[in-house]
Amino acid sequence: MAVDSSFGQQSTLQNLDTLTVNKLTMSRSLKKGPFVADHLLSKVEKLNAKGEKQVIKTWSRASTIIPQMVGHTIAVHNGRQHVPVFLTEQMVGHKLGEFAPTRTFRGHAKSDKKARR
For the segment 19-33, what is each residue's pLDDT rounded down to a tens digit? 544 455 557 788 889
The CATH number fitting domain 52-101, selected from 3.30.860.10, 3.40.50.620, 3.40.50.720, 3.40.50.300: 3.30.860.10
pLDDT score recorded for residue 61 = 96
Sheet hosting strand 55-58, strand order edge to edge: 55-58, 73-77, 82-86
Helix or strand (DSSP H, E) at 38: helix 38-50
Query: pTM of the full predicted structure?
Result: 0.70
More confident residue, 112 or 75: 75
- Give the angle subtended at the CA of 84 by the CAs of 83 and 87, to the nearest 5°: 130
Mean pLDDT (the chain) is 83
pLDDT score recorded for residue 26 = 54
pLDDT in tens, 46-79: 999 999 999 999 999 999 999 999 999 999 999 9
pLDDT score recorded for residue 83 = 96
More confident residue, 21 or 95: 95
